[in-house]
Amino acid sequence: MANRRQFLVQSVGGFAGFLAIDSIFARAARAAVQAPASGAVRTLVVVNFQGGNDGLNTLVPYGDPTYYSVRPTINIPQDQVVKLDSMLGLHPQLGALKPLYDQQRIAIMQGVHYPNPNLSHFRSTEIWQTAAPEKYVDTGWAGRYLDAQGKGQQPNLFAGVAVGPVLPKLMVAERTDVPTISDPRAFKFNGTRGEQAAADNILGGDGYKYPFQSPYLQLVQDVESHAHAAANELPHLVSGYKAAVEYPKTPFAQGLNLIAGVVNANVGTKVFYISLGSFDTHVGQRNQQDRLLDQFSAGIAAFYQDLAAHNVDSNVLTMTFSEFGRRVQENANRGTDHGTAAPMFLIGGNAKGGIYGDHPSLTDLDYGNLKWHTDFRSVYATVLERWLGIGSVPILGSQFETLTVV
């Protein structure tokens, strides 16, 4: 039998003739918008590098001659590397992050992955988003966190927010619904006015009838009656916010701008999700990855400058992840194929800046792939316990070592 997780929150979208039940705003809309939170709210921003970002050209082992021998055409020349120490440096397109690194506000964890790596985009993405490599589960790790932290409290419509058109598995929960928002001005029912009016009539009980029966009809009627109010509320919540810097005109940076507005509204949002991609660079890697890393660093630099101008930068911790890294050796198409271990970044908040963990060997490989040494769930456990202030075992299912990066 279908359950409430099928009511994925989708920017109040979904009317097109008949109501698309699995894409309507869902039960989140029935929750009243919570009053602004009192005091500072610690917030986590999760950035998904979709497609499998190449870690070796992100955190570059420029001091290792093997790097240049296995990547003769796609390497980052030493004189272009943004050097962090005598062995490692950042991709030149990440140069906008160097001031934050110098302020010890960026922690970089090397060699992160999980046991028995899966190199399928779909399955590995699901593993990272559910934190369950050994089994299939219905909820995401952030969704389980939102359920746990909101237990016994008045529902908050904006406890979690996904920036984009689709709710990621990471934010799917049992009891907490998460809106997906691309633009507060478009946070409403999609479709024509005629379609919306017809839906209003049907759901309002004005004599219109569905051509089917469903146990969810009453729920949908309740949803519709609250969805308009919730959709109208968000623009008012962020209306007083004005960016202190000019954000780049990329979708990623504009998404961060939206997040900054919700952060400043102080409505108690705990987790944001935003993605950037695709990093699936099998062919012509340099052009594609260079462009995306530039978008990332320029967006994050503007984001933290803006947050600092509003005195909330210490309340926002940003974490990056990608479903996997790339193979060590470049392929014949001046690209790289699916690999394993890669770095993760923690930015802002109370991250303890620096580089953590040994860089994986470029010669002692696992069938051409880097050998990982840090389980990504240790990073999650660290963020949950040391930043969000909640026990990680009920959320992750086991105890994982916490790290000193936060």
ω into 214 cis (within 30 of 0): no
**Nearest residue to 366 (alpha-carbon basis) of 185, 113, 40, 101:** 113
Taking CA atoms, 340 is separated from 240, 375, 378, in Å, by: 44, 12, 17
Element (H, E) at 362: none
SS3 14: coil
Q: How many CB atoms lie within 10 A of CB 129?
A: 24
Strands (E), 9-149: 15-16, 18-19, 43-50, 59-60, 82-83, 89-90, 106-113
Tell me which long-range contacts 196-202 makes (C-beta under 8 A, separation of at least 24). 196/15, 198/15, 199/15, 199/19, 199/224, 200/224, 202/19
What pLDDT score was predicted for residue 179?
84
Tens digit of pLDDT at every position of the chain (406 positions): 334 444 333 333 332 222 333 333 334 333 434 445 556 789 999 999 999 999 999 999 999 999 999 999 999 999 999 999 999 999 999 999 999 999 999 999 999 999 999 999 999 999 999 999 999 999 999 999 999 998 877 777 789 999 998 999 999 999 888 888 877 666 655 545 555 566 556 555 555 555 666 666 555 555 554 455 556 667 767 777 899 999 999 999 999 999 999 999 898 999 999 999 999 999 999 999 999 999 999 999 999 999 999 999 999 999 999 999 999 999 999 999 999 999 999 999 999 999 999 999 999 999 999 999 999 999 999 999 999 999 999 999 999 999 999 9
Element (H, E) at 255: helix 251-265
What pLDDT score was predicted for residue 354?
98
d(CA 22, CA 216): 11
Environment class of 318 (CB within 10 Å of its CB; exposed 0-12, middle 13-18, buried 19+): buried
Positive or negative, the CA dihedral 336, 343, 369, 75 is positive
d(CA 121, CA 338): 9
CA angle 69, 55, 78 (to 5 degrees): 45
d(CA 76, CA 347): 23
Environment class of 401 (CB within 10 Å of its CB; exposed 0-12, middle 13-18, buried 19+): exposed
In degrees rounded to 5, what are phi and psi of residue 20?
A: -85, 100
Q: Which domains does the chain have, with CATH numbers?
A: 4-396 (3.40.720)
Quote helix, strand, coil % in the chain, to nearest 5: 35, 15, 50
**Sequential DSSP letters for 317-349:** EEEEE-S--B-SS--TTSS--B---EEEEEEET
What pLDDT score was predicted for residue 72?
98
What pLDDT score was predicted for residue 358?
94
CA angle 55, 56, 57 (to 5 degrees): 90
What pLDDT score was predicted for residue 6?
41
Tokens standing for 366? Answer: 């696992």
Give Cα 319 to chain centroid, integer Å.
Answer: 8
What pLDDT score was predicted for residue 212?
60
Helix 193-203 and helix 217-238, axial crossing angle in degrees, nearest 10: 130
d(CA 182, CA 269): 16
**Sequential DSSP letters for 185-244:** GG-S--S-HHHHHHHHHHHTTSS---SS--TTHHHHHHHHHHHHHHHHHHHHHHTT---S
What pLDDT score was predicted for residue 31?
40
What pLDDT score was predicted for residue 21?
31
Strands 354-356 and 106-113, how do they pair?
A: parallel
d(CA 82, CA 130): 34
SS3 308: helix
DSSP 108: E
**What is the value of pTM for the model shown?**
0.86
